[in-house]
Homo-oligomer: A and B are copies of this chain.
Amino acid sequence: MSELNNALLQEVLDQVRPLVHRGKVADYIPALADVAADNLAIAVCLRDGTLFQAGDAETRFSIQSISKALSLTVALTRYDDSEIWQRVGKEPSGQPFNSLVQLELEQGKPRNPFINAGALVICDLLETRLTAPRQRMLEIVRQLSQQPDINYDRHVARSEFEHSARNAAIAWLMKSFGNFDNDVTSVMQTYFHYCSLSMNCVELARTFVYLANLGKTLDGSQMITPRQTRQINALMITSGMYDGAGEFAWRVGMPAKSGVGGGIIAVIPGEMSIAVWSPGLDSAGNSLAGTAVLELLTEKLGRSIF
């Protein structure tokens, strides 16, 4: 087995780099389409905060759906578990991330909090309990990452909102089933702001190390309980990678959550959080080279939860 250090990470990136142009950069909004496809980055944060990195690990990008893991975490701190899980399920969807078919058949209860419908319900919950949900999330992310200048990319947020017809349809469908409390536009604004968080791999690895550390953050505070931490990891492995979760578990074997900006946050429970970034996506919407980086790193480290 190889030892984990910056050189190893660089070696992994070098080996994977030929794949960066095989994926397709998300282009449903111009703000995402403009990102250079050849960005490639990795950062690893151990439980004690030790950090390794390689490539463009200090270049920020739009974290997009990775934010769904954050908003779920925040919801767990503000609600009893049962209040959350009566409104959103825990099962893989077996469907594209933004489909309405299953949502209608299952009467407006989203399959899990990592598909759009589920994340919108979580944002609806936060809208009810947080006084300033956008400001509050910024404070949380800045504290978790220990990086006080993290911010929303308002250009991305606005652009998302202008292309939000499908998400509006999802929210209204849930409202028709009584599973959406607040104003659709307000909640979507919050949702798109969360998606537009601009962070780099180093910041992401630091932010999410609590998932590798039984709920403890870098500054030693207990964000969520050990049990809740394991539960989020379980949910990520079954549903974190859109309709490619099975393939990802098969190849990489780590709980993970990806975003269409090309970022992935992955976790080796009890050991480390790993953030990778490469904008080109595979057919399931996950970073193609990013997945390959994680797969290769797993092999070299000889680490897998399986």
- Enumerate chain B residues within 8 angstroms of A168, measured Cβ to Cβ: 168-169, 172, 175-176, 184
| A window 190-243: CB within 8 A of B | 229-231, 233-235, 237-239, 243
A94 at the interface (CB under 8 A from B): yes
A169, B166: Cβ atoms under 8 Å? no
- Enumerate chain B residues within 8 angstroms of A91, measured Cβ to Cβ: 92, 94, 243-247
Report the separation of the CA atoms of residues A92 and B255 in the bound assembly, to the nearest whole angstrom: 15
A104 at the interface (CB under 8 A from B): yes
A122 at the interface (CB under 8 A from B): no
Given A238-B246, A305-B306, output 6 extra A-B contacts at Cβ < 8 Å: A94-B111, A99-B104, A100-B101, A166-B176, A168-B175, A305-B305
> How many interface residues does A have (CB within 8 Å)?
49
Q: Can you offer 15 A-B residue contacts whose CB atoms are under 8 A?
A: A89-B246, A91-B244, A92-B94, A94-B95, A99-B104, A100-B104, A101-B105, A169-B175, A230-B304, A234-B249, A234-B253, A237-B249, A238-B245, A269-B304, A269-B306
- Enumerate chain B residues within 8 angstroms of A92, measured Cβ to Cβ: 91-92, 94, 238, 245-246
A21 at the interface (CB under 8 A from B): no
Select from chain B the residue with minimum beta-carbon distance to A175: B165
Report the separation of the CA atoms of residues A306 and B173 in the bound assembly, to the nearest whole angstrom: 34
Question: How many whole Å from A214's CB to the nearest CB in chain B?
Answer: 10
Select from chain B the residue with minimum beta-carbon distance to A168: B172
Complex partner residue of A246 from B90, B101, B243, CB under 8 angstroms: B90
A249, B269: Cβ atoms under 8 Å? no
| A window 263-306: CB within 8 A of B | 269, 304-306
